[in-house]
Amino acid sequence: MPNYSITIEYDGKGFAGWQFQPNTRTVQGELESALQILNSGKQVRIHGAGRTDAGVHARGQVANFILELQWDVEELRNAINGNTSEDIHIHSCHLVSDDFHARFSAKRRKYVYHCRINETILDRNFVWRLGWSPQIEALQSCADAVKGDHDFTTFSKWSSEVKTRRCIVYQSKWINDGDFVIYLIEANRFLQHMIRYLVGTMMEVPRGRITEKDFVNLLEACDPKAKIAKAPAQGLCLEEITY
């Protein structure tokens, strides 16, 4: 049976995250409902490259699924778009090898986090409205410490099901972009809430609540009970998956 991959953009505001939950609106659930219609009423399981949290957006989420019949990829893309809501859009669809898995075949995942430094409200569902301008040098000093192979126990939601909390971070940088300060991070994998904990806690440094050294100590402590800050969901977007 043919295996397809799709690249998905979605506005996470109206969803309780990517992962399917009964009696709750999720991105995975809505896509599976659409695919079931296209699969003669038979259930289709879709696998995403990343399990975004409630309120988190995606511009380049990737997922794969198997259908019983082979479709023209452009017709399939249009059919999925025609059976999903306006806050989900499929940008591309491809026929892939049988062993392709959106999550396990992925090599890198890239996220961006937008913080608005002025008081404009029109994009409030897609940014963290700081309303002040943080010192970018202090933020970058913390971001530099994140790069490399680390145990991110301090900066992740504790779960006994997670076997390892080590992640390799390839990019970690803050960008000053006029009305925004933007955090870009790329890694082989991410833990639950990891980026939001990193952003929230890094922002405590220019606020004067902790020092850059304190941030590094938190990272090195690997302490699931450490006191850290959490950035809101709406500023975070999954940008790209690399295979």
pLDDT at 85 over 90: yes
Q: Report the DSSP pairing between strands 57-66 and 236-242.
A: parallel
Q: What is the pLDDT of residues 107-157, one digit of tens each?
A: 999 999 999 999 899 999 999 999 999 999 999 999 999 999 999 999 998
Region at 20 (left for phi over 0; alpha for psi -120 to 50; beta for the rest): beta
What the block records as the tokens of 67 is 């259908």
Q: Smallest Cα–Cα separation from 11: which of 82, 61, 63, 75?
A: 61
Catalytic annotation, pick one of 11, 53, 72, 144: 53
Q: What is the pLDDT of residues 12-37, one digit of tens each?
A: 999 999 999 999 999 999 999 999 99
Reported confidence tier of residue 65, pLDDT bands at 50, 70, 90: very high
Q: How far apart are CA 68 and CA 78, in angstroms?
A: 18
Q: What is the pLDDT of residues 189-231, one digit of tens each?
A: 999 999 999 999 999 999 999 999 999 999 999 999 999 999 9
pLDDT at 159 over 80: no
| Domains of the chain with bracketed CATH | 3-96 (3.30.70.580), 108-242 (3.30.70.660)
Q: Is 151 a catalytic residue?
A: no
- Dihedral angle over CA of 32, 34, 40, 42, nearest 10: 20
Q: What percent of the chain has pLDDT over 90?
A: 94
pLDDT (0 to 100) of residue 117: 96
